[in-house]
Structure 1
Amino acid sequence: MKIYCSHEAVKKNLQTDLYTRKLFSPPEIKVTPSSVIKGDKMMVRCDTRLDPLRGGTELHFAFYRDGRTVRGYDVSDTYRVRSSQLEDSGKYTCEVRMRSDTVRKMSDELYIQIHELFSPPEIKVIPSRLIEGDEMTVRCDTRLDPLRGGTELHFAFYRDGRTVRGYNVSDTYRVRSSQLEDSGKYTCEVRTRSDTVRKMSDGLYIQIHELFSPPEIKVTPSRVIEGDNMTVRCDTRLDPLRGGTELHFSFYRDGRTVRGYNVSDTYRVWSAQLEDSGKYTCEVRTRSDTVRKMSDGLYIQIHGLLEVDKRPEDSWEPNELCWAGMEDSSSSGRMLTVYGRLLSGKFSISKFSMTKARLGGVRIHVTEEIRPNVVPEACETLARPENMMVVAYMTTVVPT
């Protein structure tokens, strides 16, 4: 049997084939992994299928993010990002064309979100108000993506831009006994073990407050005369919030300890002598010795009762000294313990005796024996030391 087909029918069938058979299907964007975390390797594929009858046709692929080319035409249908970053997020499309560019097709858009592996770190400090000697804990706070909870992070800490602790798996930096010099602007940085992702925190200024002020040496009386009771005080002020802190004080003269550590802030000398003169310092420390501070030096001069700068043979002006004395006979001869103050009259000095005396709060130190010459004259009434017989003299120098 013969079947005849009209020319018009054949032509119609050929036209139907031309319209229904495609060289390649419309491309589709696909991403691996389906959820991309910052630092992940990301593969974006431009998926299409060639007509089986044209399997050898060479296709070229291009990729775009937010309308901008991220990879130009290439025979590979895949765009790879080795370590995806947040800025790789966007609306992706791809375009496929024949080598001859006679056929080209664009995919629909696919929004790809790059998720944070961990949140931006934040510096936190405990306690919120720090006083020198306190233990300080600085934490670099961040949160891992729940899908990557096992990721190992490393943390580093900086003060004023300088490393105080290098990278470590611990998110905490500790200072056992914080000092004033630990104050500063702190930042921390977090990175993955492979260093594919790293983030820096904002800065946080941490102030270490003084537990007590730098000590200062103070002396009473302000002018110390030989024989005075001298009180040297190590003056400091505790932080009001730590008023119950026990402090210990020590005192030094010319760098040598004159009193070791003690809870008393005062060093007393009951009868100061010339050899007690010197440069005094004091040191304050906490009972636990976590904080200690040294004062500046203060030179304390112990003055003689009367610092006579004339020799016996020098010329003495009239009306310089009124004196009184108690006679004392000893194997070394006749001596006088002298009590006196500047009034009127004259006096003469001879023979060394190292005498010391006091009159009405005014003290003198005479390094020569003083002897009355010829006629005693009236003198201002003098304060008499207890249990001592005092005779007042106005001395007259007799020319030799």
Structure 2
Amino acid sequence: MLLWLLLVIFALVSEQRDSRTLLAPSSVYEGDSITLTCYGENLKIKTVTYYKDTKKLNLSKGVLRFSIPRAVLSDSGNYYCTVTEKRLWWWTKTSKTVKIKVQELFQHPVLTASSFQPTEGVPVTLTCETRLSPQRSNIQLQFCFFRDSHALGSGWSSSPELQIPAIWSEDAGYYWCEAETVTNKVRKQSFQSQIHVQRVPISNVSLETRAPGGQVIEGGELVLLCSVAEGTGNITFSWHREVTGTSLGKKTQRSLSAELEIPVVKESDAGEYYCRADNGHNPIQSEVMNIPVKIPVSCPILTLRAPKAQAVVGDVVELHCESLRGSPPILYRFYHKNITLGNSSAPSGGGTSFNLFLTAELSGNYSCEADNGLEVQRSEAVPLSISGSGGYRRDLVTARALGGLFGVLGFIGAAFLFYCWSHKISGESSATNAPRGASSPNLQEFTHSSPLPAMEELQPVYVNVDSVGVDVVYSQVWSNEQPGDSANTGRTFLENKDFQVIYSSVKKS
């Protein structure tokens, strides 16, 4: 009887262990769902318990299934279940063990960079490298990159690469990436990698000017351009006056150059300038640059300076034109009724003059113009009235005509007298050389052949030669005397033949 009882108990225990079956999927990948089902006789079940590696997973009343929504690698292990059910009494039955291995869907990503020690300003490419399982190669992945817990770019993307156009010192830090399936949301993260960004010091700072027409003109615009040949990161540019050293402005930007604009230039802005650049290393200063400011000419002032209060024909009038402001050289032009009279240059600035000999036609308005290449300004018109122009001109013309006429007549008269005098001397020489045997009546006949009136014989005769147009007057003077008796005629005439005298005197104006 005891033996039969032991056999019955052993059979019940064997039935308890073999009457339950645990169903599980044969192939499991990350992200797959796992459902465990404990099968057996449809008896009244009190409890079902699932175990993984002898560790209780869940305890539910009357539930034959246990699910894992998304499997992970750590879900791999040995699973079984136990069921407590009622027959004659409460029996506990245990299923066989089922081994489940969760396979990797894709490898853990690895972050790579084109350079982990880049120089500021250069581009950097980050890559999130991974590989799908050959059995699940159709799975779609998306990627995201991070720096110091901040997502980079636009967030999740289907591309495993991220382009950083230019990396700077503030971009240094720890980087990593994540890869995730589009479905089932299996996500994996790479290890963190540190990127060190190297900064390039500043070198060769220079200052340049930009102005319309290439010249800095008062009232115009001036741009001061400060630039560096090398230097990375945020660079702080500043502009200074050499005399005071004060800063005119400051800009910080990620660029190799910066501009400072002076919209309206004043004359006081002329002087020496320099700029500085600093990107965290030692600040570098440019060479000092002298910037001259050109000043357009102001409206000139025309002044007429005459020798008398009332200008008359024949006067010399000085036209003085001057601009009070303006960079030299200045060219002045003088006008009479908009007709150019002449021009004069002032190389060092200031004013200049133009002398004008007045004629009757020069009455009217006068003006002048100043031009220094930057601007042309014209003065206001100044009137000039010339008096006594008609009578004076007629008298001057008449005097010149009469002077010319008298000069011609005087020259002709002098020539005639010289001819007569030469002829007379010729006759006297013939009488003197007559033969000794000649009779006296011939001599008397010569003497009386050309008698002169009594008035002409008693008074000297004056003839002025070429008295017009020169400062010396030449005169011929001679006298004729009637002899007292015929016996002495020849002797007296011969003795007085040299009485002709030529005098000269200097005219005084």
- TM-score, normalised to structure 1, is 0.49
> Which structure is larger by alpha-carbon Rg, 1 or 2?
2
Higher relative contact order (CA 8 A, sep 6+): 1
